[in-house]
Amino acid sequence: MGERVLVHQFGEIMTDIIRHLLREIYGPEQIESIYPDLIQRIEQVRPTAQPQPKSFSEKDVVLITYGDSLNQNGEHPLRTLHQFARTHVAGAISTIHILPFFPYSSDDGFSVKDFYAVNPALGTWADVEQLGRDFDLMFDAVFNHMSAQSAWFKAFLADDPTYVGLFRSEDPNLDFSEVTRPRTSPLLTPFAKDNGETIYVWTTFSADQVDFDVCHPNTLLRLLDILLFYVRKGARVIRLDAIAYLWKEVGTACIHLPETHAVIQLMRAVLDEVAPDVLIITETNVPHAENVSYFGDGDDEAQLVYNFVLPPLLFHTLLSGSARKLREWVNTLHTPSAQTTFFNFTASHDGIGVRPVEDLLEPDELAALIHHTEKSGGRVSYRRNPNGSQSPYELNITYVDAVTDADQPVAIRARRFLLSQAIMLSLAGMPAIYIHSLLGSHNNIEGMRQTGQNRTINRAKLKVDDVRVELEDPATFRAQVFAGYLHLIRTRIAHPAFHPNGTQQALNLGSDSILALLRTAPDQSEHMLAVYNVTDQIQPVDLNKVTDSPVMDLLSQKFVPARVSLEPYQTLWLRLP
């Protein structure tokens, strides 16, 4: 594929949009200083044939992985990943999200030292491009912050005029009580400049992650340069990490500010003009109403938004044996246009965020999730509230161990976990699968102890030869999960009823032990009923509300009568007449 060539075809409408957004961000007095620089950057890109905008399909399935989740002696991990993916998941997975693969200093890649380089411990740009020949690629744009050990930050501390204003420093005596905090660490961190002066730099996530100051137009231009570079390097989806915190203004919550939305809209406008087949996804681990605001009006902001409610609410469903809250929530979901859809997932490199279910779960229900997490060897991470108190922010545990019980037999645990993944796969939206879910990985307790970081529990580095040995033994938990997962994916991508923008309705079939999802293809060509027993007991189900004749279960390829008893944690995907 090589470096991608972008196209520019600026018209009056796009010019007006860009000017309008710059006015919203910086005010009318600064437009003429930044607008020509922005246009020049885009016009420097050599034009080629205009690509078509990306349209969603039931065949879109994303694999989330670190570049070195799989390792083999003497080989770049990116090549190992490519070989494993090409051998085992080609035709099932369409897109691979390589978590930050750049040189970094901490946070497993999210404190980037150089946005333009590949971490040599993982491989080279050639390795990334080779992977992009067989799969679409998703890159992280870590635009809220950068490593405190980066050359850019060192130049900033040295008062290099090229880097003045690149990072956000503040007077520590100001009132920061309104600032939303996702961590318990200090908001400001002192740094010594080369001239001996001490400054206090904004550090939303850690002392090693210094926040950019996008209030300076030149900072935004730098970020747009990186955005266009990633597109040239083959990114088909760009993930805006922690983007909700991008714009800072003392005296406000410093989250979801109008300027942040305007910056995302500007990125979307630029990509719509030069690379309309590239999608933007926003990562904002916040309550649902705040999260979906990043869809904008359906045409002007992110095409994809993480469905952050799903992981903890599905966890609650399996733990409680009741699908009532999940069913009610599903029936509230909608997106503003056919150009937008949810990014459905249950696990990621981070933990299971609990802020998104603050208004959905009762305190005792959240306490039950925490208890099960800790009983299963997991940890709880906290955030600091404006009044100085702390509250749970995320549960650190693999999703396998979150939704299963270690006392159950292997086959039951595998079925229970796969049911959770089948629910995710059948919901309206684009499904995303973390590699340790696909491989049925358990808690990495030893790794967490070694690093002292809670999130390491779900970030194990595996030897690919060991994984292959387990996958070849059908008696192992890993093999049962992997084979069952691929069967689910391959069934999903063959049926347009599972289209990301198909209609969706959660039905009440008379028991909270049963979750039933009615899915219909956008063109009405196919109707599907997904039925799940979320308990460890046999549950009778009457399908007469939906069909009065036997229907085919696509997973077992057997006909199912209108009255049926579901085994514990059984899944049915029924194709309706």
255's CB contacts (< 8 A; 6+ apart) are 180, 244, 245, 286
Helix (H, G, I), strand (E, B) or coil at 369: helix
Helix (H) / strand (E) element for 18: namely: helix 12-26
40: exposed, middle or buried (C-beta count within 10 Å: 0-12, 13-18, 19+)?
exposed
Q: Which residue has the tokens 């090409």?
A: 86
Give buried/exposed letters for 480-497 (b at 16+ CB in 10 A, else e). bbbebbbebbebbbebbb
Residue 169: closest CA among 177, 159, 178, 183: 159
458's CB contacts (< 8 A; 6+ apart) are 347, 349, 350, 351, 396, 397, 398, 399, 434, 436, 441, 443, 444
Q: Which of 241, 300, 401, 512 is catalytic?
A: 241
Q: Which pairing describes strands 235-240 and 136-141: parallel, antiparallel, or unpaired?
A: parallel
Q: Is 241 a catalytic residue?
A: yes
Residue 179: closest CA among 159, 155, 204: 204
Q: Which pairing describes strands 95-98 and 136-141: parallel, antiparallel, or unpaired?
A: parallel
d(CA 303, CA 108): 27
Residue 434: closest CA among 408, 467, 460: 460
Residue 517: closest CA among 220, 356, 314: 314
d(CA 139, CA 133): 15
| Paired tokens of 38 | 């922005």
Kindly list the catalytic residues. Answer: 241
